[in-house]
Amino acid sequence: MTDQLFGANLVALVTPMDPNGAISQPGLTSLVDHLLATGCDGLVVGGTTGEAPTLTDTEAAELVRAVATQTDKRAKVIAGVGTYDTAASIDRARAAEAAGADALLLVCPYYSRPSQAGVVAHCVAVADATALPVMLYDVPARTGLAMEAPTLIELAGHPQIRAVKDAKGDLFEAMNVMARTSLAYYCGIDELNLPYLASGATGVVSVVGNIVANRNADLIRAIRTGNLDVAQAIQRELLPLADAIMRTSGGAVMAKAALAELGIIPSATVRRPLLEAPESHLQRLTAALATIAVPA
């Protein structure tokens, strides 16, 4: 089952940093403890929310190693390894495998805007480089290029390519690809977790889950057991927090701000070119946090 490869209630980890911008090991330990305690069964390390473009190769591998060691098989560790360079992505994939990752997250190559044939060639080359299962990451708002449906269907034929994190938001396309392949879909847009799950998605890769992974677990459980009224109530409860985190200064910035406000990580520091949230956004965040019971 795909749940056994990646989990269902996945969180896109922030990368905790101290005020000087160095990775905070105490912050990372505290965050992972918090997520394991709140029902997260998959930790995505070094993805967009983890500020992947600012991480060195050494930092990326060390983050995977630290999280894999701490989780000790209690949750899947999915390493973000995608770049715009196939050779560099292969190097990161092999380093993540050596560091103890259970799976890889492979974003569509950004900036260079290859053809769809180039996207296929890139993904196949990275998937061939390790024995780990691969989750494709389709996020055209960030990459400037979508993985088109025929591309996803072709890539589904590769034995290592098993899932898609869909941050495209085209639910009709997602349902069609799910119907034509064995790819497991994971919603990568917190605002749309409910409709994706109700349409057959296996799970979520959530930014808001950094704070309330327990409520995402409840949402997944409600859909799987056919309790649509309960699922709708949970989604309504989470909407103010999703709005405050995803529709202001951006997921990485605001998730860190929330975690710092709650005392789970020591600082809301982000690396340039990101900037910490302005006071008006922090006020919206504080108001949203006040509406929800956040696990200690």
Taking only the tens place, the pLDDT of each residue in 105-120 is: 999 999 999 999 999 9
What is the structure's pLDDT at 295?
74
CATH number at residue 202: 3.20.20.70
Identify the bridge partners of residue 222 per DSSP, sorted by sequence position. Answer: none
Q: Catalytic one among 76, 137, 185, 186?
A: 137
Q: Catalytic one among 73, 84, 110, 165?
A: 165
> Does 165 qualify as catalytic in the annotation?
yes
Residue 168 lies in a domain: yes
Local confidence band at 2 (pLDDT 50, 70, 90 cut-offs): low
Residue 108 lies in a domain: yes
19, 267 contact by CB (below 8 A): yes
What is the structure's pLDDT at 1?
46
Residue 240 lies in a domain: no
Residue 210 lies in a domain: yes
| Phi, psi torsion values for 95, nearest 5 degrees | -65, -40
Mean pLDDT of 73-88: 97
Distances (CA, A) of 42 to 36, 61, 274: 9, 17, 26
What is the structure's pLDDT at 294?
79
Residue 291 lies in a domain: no
Burial code (b: 16+ CB inside 10 Å, e: under 16) for 239-264 equals: bbbbbbbbebbbbbbbbbbbbbbeeb
Q: How far from chain centre, in Å, is Cα 109? A: 17
What is the structure's pLDDT at 296?
63
Q: What percentage of the chain reaches a pLDDT higher than 90? A: 97
Residue 189 lies in a domain: yes
The token pair at 182 is 């064995």
Distances (CA, A) of 43 to 31, 105, 115, 209, 289: 11, 11, 31, 10, 22
Helix (H) or strand (E) holding 162: strand 161-166
> Read out DSSP for 68-88?
HHHHTTSSEEEEE---S-HHH
Between strands 134-138 and 161-166, the pairing is: parallel
- Model confidence over 27-76: pLDDT tens digits? 999 999 999 999 999 999 999 999 999 999 999 999 999 999 999 999 99
3-state secondary structure of 288: helix
Q: Round to whole Å and give the CA distance between 65 and 74.
A: 14
Over 80: is that where the pLDDT of 24 sits?
yes
What is the structure's pLDDT at 289?
96
Over 50: is that where the pLDDT of 281 sits?
yes
- Model confidence over 231-259: pLDDT tens digits? 999 999 999 999 999 999 999 999 999 99
Residue 221 lies in a domain: yes
How many structural domains does the chain have? 1
Over 90: is that where the pLDDT of 136 sits?
yes
What is the structure's pLDDT at 4?
87
> Does 76 qualify as catalytic in the annotation?
no
**Residues counted in the chain:** 296
Q: What percentage of the chain reaches a pLDDT higher than 70? A: 99
* Mean pLDDT score across all residues of the chain: 97
Residue 252 lies in a domain: no
Mean pLDDT of 269-293: 96
Containing domain of residue 152, as a range? 2-229
Mean pLDDT of 180-197: 98
